[in-house]
Structure 1
Amino acid sequence: MRSVGGGTVPPEGVQINDDTGPVKNELTSAYAEGASITLICLANGGKPLPRVTWKRDGKSITNETQYFPERRKSQSVLRIEKLMRSHLLAMHNCEVSNSVQSPPLIVRVAIEMYLRPLEVKLLGQNEPLSAGRRIDIVCRCRGSRPPATITWWKVSALEYLQ
């Protein structure tokens, strides 16, 4: 531990956890569109215990810090109630600082997501079908992540009408 002046000691490290545990390689676990997520930024050590702030696009989105002096830790919790497409790979910064004399420690995390298709279309000639005649129909899907798996099912007219 090095002192910054006036007995200030910088934090030793920062860790981000999501709902499944520690975040690795600056990327959360994958979450479905519409799901909620909790990100916890945990700072270890420092004297005084550091302030922990979440930012997105340079703007503070939460600066409520919880302090745990007995464990020499402080943290900030970021809860997003409903993930939207705009959260996909959105970079969130956790900034940890206990002194104006030294720059904050910054840890970045992006949110990985599964996205359902935005559109599914059948492409082909729009003509009546008849037995014994071949027709090509293409199913095109867009907007899903990962790419959608398209499956064709053959059903009888009676099953379809029920």
Structure 2
Amino acid sequence: MSANHIEIVQKAKNPRKWNVRSRLQLRPNSDDDRQQYSCRGLHPALKDSPTTLVASVILSVLHPPDPPLITGYPKGDILQEGEQRSLTCRVTGGNPRPWVLWYRHGRPLDPAVAVTLQSLRADATVSTKAPVSNVREEGSVSSVQQVVGSRHEDGAVYECRVTSPLLPRPLSTNVTLSVHYGPAWVEVTGPTVAAAGQQFAVTCRTSPSNPPATITWRLQGNRVTSGAQLIKEDEGGGWVTSSEMTYHLARSRKVSELTVECIAQDEKGDNIVSQTHVISIIKRPGWPVVEVEETEEGAEIAAGDTVNAVCVSEGGIPPPDVLMYKGDEKLPITVVYEGAVTRARAEVKVTAADNGAKVRCDVINPRRRSQSALTKVLVLNSRPGR
């Protein structure tokens, strides 16, 4: 600040008295805002007097604020998922008091206050009213914004804008958050049924994470190797990791199902998610054997007799379905599973027309392939002696 001091001494109307006028011309700047200036009267008669002749004034200098500064998140810093931070925007100077507002991706976090400030600027009025979130300190105004690390905050731009009637446009500064977060889930896709001797492939895909997650595979609880992991950037942020595991199921392996587990974890191994996929193993059943049981040893079958047709098949995972026919007529059957043996039984009441009729047994595996066996029923018109 520059100043020009002029002092004028004049005779008073009363004899032997003098008037003294002192004028101080100032060219104030922002540093003079809220500074106190005092005029003190000195005189020999006041040397031992308890009274001091002083007049004071505090200057109010209108001036715009300085550019804002954001603290609490240094450049290049990384937030961990769930970590909380306090972003503080502080602006020094400014008379009248400036307003500090937070924006995220260009949108105000307190829209109501933003509308109020736009109205005040349109009126071109000087007001000391400020948002309630602003905290006034000696010579500065600050506002605190709380953030929590998450996928949605990764890459988020937080901007602090300072508004004042003395500014042609707001002053602003911003920070861009970088958040590390692990995958929230994995998805396993692949066949639910596989045949012995078949090669199959299972694919695992993670939800977005930053940095990319790592995938490992386990088959029947044992870790297995897989092909190269594919990493793609997700449109919503983060990276998606996918991996494919291929496996050849040996015919000699005696299992009814395979358990495949995909495990994904973040860089530090703190966040681990997994999903299990179960594949049922099917094996072809053995060729069926069908026969007709006689009612008595060596007895012939006559019209009107009821005979039992039995179909037997060994093996098959899962146990096969069985259908039995007499000619083109489907027979009602009872199926019994005994260990690895499937046994179907049909009761057939024969007539003379059934002489030489064919009884067929179809064994159907889960892949809808059937295997058939045929036998003939010889029926006499009547037994001797009847």
Q: Provide the residue aligned with 1:24 in structure 2.
A: none
Which residue does 2:313 correspond to in 1? 141
Equivalent residue, structure 1, for 2:134: none
2:243 aligned partner: 76
* Residue of structure 1 in register with 2:214 after alignment: 51
**Quick one: structure 1 residues 47 and 120, their matched pair in 2 at CA, closer, same or farther if it must change by over 3 Å?**
same
Give the C-alpha shift of residue 17 in structure 1: 1.3
Deviation, 1:55, is: 0.4
Q: Cα distance 1:150–1:73, how it changes in 2: closer, same or farther (>3 A)?
A: same
| 2:195 pairs with 1:117 | no
Structure 2 unaligned regions, length at least 5: 1-79, 84-177, 327-357, 359-373, 377-386
| CA distance in structure 2 between the aligned counterparts of 1:107 and 1:78, rounded to whole angstroms | 14
TM-score (norm 2): 0.32
CA contact (8 A) 1:39 1:78 kept: yes
**Equivalent residue for 1:12?**
184
Deviation per CA, 1:75-126: give whole Å up to 9, x if none.
Answer: 221112346454532211110011445242110011024332146455757x
Q: Are the counterparts in 1 of residues 185 and 274 from structure 2 also a CA contact under 8 Å?
A: no
**Normalized against structure 1, the TM-score is what?**
0.67
Q: 1:156 to 1:143 in 2, by over 3 A?
A: closer
Identity of aligned residues (%): 17
SS in structure 1 at match of 2:233? helix
Q: Is the 8 A contact 2:192 2:278 kept in 1?
A: no
Distance 1:61 1:4, change over 3 A: farther
The separation in 2 between residues aligned to 1:128 and 1:34, in whole angstroms, is 45
Quick check: 6-15 or 38-47, which moved more? Answer: 6-15
Aligned residues: 147
Task: Classify 1:15/1:140 alpha carbon distance in 2 versus 1 (closer, same or farther; 3 Å).
Answer: same
Among candidates 51, 64, 81, match of residue 3 of structure 1: 81
* Structure showing greater Rg: 2
Residues 16-72 of structure 1, C-alpha deviations (whole Å, 9 max, x = no match): 111xxxxxxxxx433333332110011121111111111023321125451323232
| 8 A Cα contact 1:52 1:65, kept in partner | no
The AA in structure 2 aligned to 1:35 is Q
How large is the RMSD of aligned CA atoms in angstroms?
3.6
Indicate conservation of the 8 Å contact 1:36/1:79, yes or no.
Answer: yes
Q: Post-superposition shift, 1:4? A: 6.6
SS in structure 1 of the partner of residue 81 of structure 2: coil
Return 141-150 or 66-75, whichever deviates more: 141-150
Aligned AA for 1:148?
D
Distance 1:37 1:120 in 2: 29
Greater relative CO (CA pairs within 8 A, separation 6+):
1
Q: Which has the higher strand share?
A: 2
Q: Which runs of 5+ in 1 are unaligned?
A: 19-27, 158-162
Kept after mapping to 1: 8 A contact 2:184/2:273? no
Pick the aligned partner of 2:259 from 75, 82, 91.
91
